């Protein structure tokens, strides 16, 4: 997802009660059980859920978020969207109306869900099978608002711009719905079941140029990055490898989403956004669906070395190649700890990181984006 990461940076998913759905016809999205959270269960993740997660690469849970946390997230995100509407024209031709990266660092409602108060981090840590002496950190979080533009990025895994860890690091993404997303209306989240462990996954990584294919020591500079990345673009698997696109479509799962549903999926599970059904969207007063994505990884995850846009590295080049634990302990909470608990010292350091370090890193990133611009323009010309 290297190209998508760059483009976004330049403008910027024994058993409890289940919901059953009929098996869909071939080449239609496969539906599956949504686990209903039961507060009486001691274990947040049952053996059956763990088995399903490791086989399929995902599970979905309904009723996991406490009502007050979900309500706070709803109010806060609605305000953010409204403010964005006042300063942004619609219809920009992108799959998302709004993308806000790192929002938990500055917004308490998102911070409470991603780090401090919800059950979400504990489930992610369980799915990662972290040892008691390990830590888990928020590697990245993103608030996304899907609009009715029909463009979507094809099947992919999240690259360094959206998941700043080398290809050896495991991870769990918690995809949280902030609106109902009826199956028949589109606009939701599609996942290629089992693709994280499929025999053809390395070919898919290569044709999309994913993090799995980056050189061990990273790229030397901008020319090296654009000359030597693999594949023909993150979003283009339908045209670059139609046989792989077809396999993912055949295993495609889309849930009938209710507000507050959480989809946990493996970092290496291929996924994509669903476009809105045009007719369905035409009857909506404002076709926008909000979702919040939190990417969790072990504290041992290594920050990618080499040329790139990672803020912690642009602030301090010595952070490249360090673990997320090491970076956060030496240089501030760029990747806040959230399991087995938050770190009080890190939370106290967040305001100074945002005030003093991020503006410097953002300025350096803008300079890199300017450096990348002619290469991106050439790439677009070659793809048309």
Q: Average pLDDT over the chain, rounded to whole?
A: 89
CA atoms lying within 13 Å on the CB side of residue 150:
5
Q: Residue 161: is its pLDDT beyond 60?
A: yes
pLDDT tens by residue, 73-126: 999 999 999 999 988 765 555 789 999 999 999 999 999 999 988 999 999 999
Residue where the block lists tokens 């673990």? 323
Number of domains in the chain: 1
Contact present, 1 and 234 (Cβ < 8 Å): yes
Q: Tokens at residue 278, please?
A: 């045009």
d(CA 275, CA 185): 9
Query: Worst-scoring range by mean pLDDT, 3-12, 247-256, 266-275, 325-334?
Result: 3-12
DSSP single-letter state for residue 254: E
Q: Residue 17: is its pLDDT beyond 50?
A: no
Contact present, 233 and 3 (Cβ < 8 Å): yes
d(CA 281, CA 326): 46
**Best CA proximity match to 311, nearest among 293, 328, 290:** 328
CATH number at residue 169: 2.60.120.620
Give the angle 50-53-59 at the CA atoms, nearest 5°: 105
Query: Helix, strand or coil for residue 144?
Result: strand
**Across residues 239-255, what is the average pLDDT?**
96
**Which range of residues forms the domain containing residue 285?**
2-383
Residue where the block lists tokens 């090296």? 224
For residues 11 and 100, the model is more confident at 100
Q: Residue 31: is its pLDDT beyond 60?
A: no
**Best CA proximity match to 101, nearest among 272, 306, 365, 293:** 293
Query: Helix, strand or coil for residue 245?
Result: helix
Residue where the block lists tokens 């140029």? 209
- Identify the pLDDT of residue 384: 57
- Identify the pLDDT of residue 90: 59
User: E-assigned strands of the chain?
Assistant: 18-19, 34-36, 58-62, 96-101, 136-146, 172-177, 189-192, 252-254, 262-266, 271-273, 289-298, 337-339
Query: Helix, strand or coil for residue 312?
Result: helix
| Exposed/middle/buried for residue 94 (C-beta within 10 Å: 0-12, 13-18, 19+) | middle
d(CA 276, CA 179): 14
């Amino acid at each position: 997802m290297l190209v998508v990461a760059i483009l976004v940076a330049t403008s910027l998913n024994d058993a409890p009660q289940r919901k059953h759905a009929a098996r869909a016809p071939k080449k239609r999205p496969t539906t599956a059980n949504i686990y209903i959270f039961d507060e009486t269960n001691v274990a947040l993740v049952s053996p059956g859920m763990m088995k399903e997660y490791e086989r399929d690469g995902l599970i979905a849970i309904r009723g996991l978020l406490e009502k007050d946390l979900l309500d706070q997230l709803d109010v806060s995100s609605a305000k953010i969207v409204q403010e964005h509407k006042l300063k942004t024209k619609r219809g920009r031709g992108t799959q998302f109306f709004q993308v806000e990266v790192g929002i938990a660092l500055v917004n308490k409602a998102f911070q409470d869900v991603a780090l401090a108060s919800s059950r979400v981090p504990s489930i992610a840590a369980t799915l990662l099978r972290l040892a008691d002496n390990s830590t888990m950190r928020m590697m990245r979080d993103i608030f996304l608002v899907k609009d009715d533009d029909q463009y979507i990025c094809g099947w992919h895994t999240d690259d360094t711009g959206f998941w700043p860890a080398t290809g050896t690091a495991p991870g769990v993404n918690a995809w949280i719905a902030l609106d109902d997303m009826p199956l028949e209306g589109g606009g939701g989240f599609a996942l290629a079941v089992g693709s994280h462990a499929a025999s053809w996954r390395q070919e898919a990584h290569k044709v999309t140029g994913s993090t799995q294919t980056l050189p061990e020591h990273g790229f030397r500079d901008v020319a090296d990055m654009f000359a030597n990345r693999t594949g023909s673009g993150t979003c283009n698997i339908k045209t670059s490898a139609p046989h792989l696109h077809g396999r993912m479509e055949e295993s495609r799962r889309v849930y009938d989403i209710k507000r507050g549903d959480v989809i946990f999926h493996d970092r290496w599970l291929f996924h994509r956004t669903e476009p809105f059904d045009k007719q369905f969207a035409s009857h909506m007063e404002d076709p926008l669906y909000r979702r919040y994505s939190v990417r969790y990884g072990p504290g041992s995850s290594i920050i990618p070395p080499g040329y790139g846009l990672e803020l912690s590295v642009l602030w301090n080049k010595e952070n490249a190649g360090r673990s997320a634990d090491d970076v956060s302990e030496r240089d501030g909470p760029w990747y806040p700890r959230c399991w087995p608990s938050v770190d009080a010292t890190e939370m106290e350091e967040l305001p100074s990181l945002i005030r003093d370090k991020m503006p410097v890193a953002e300025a350096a990133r803008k300079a890199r984006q300017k450096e990348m611009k002619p290469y991106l323009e050439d790439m677009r010309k070659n793809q048309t």
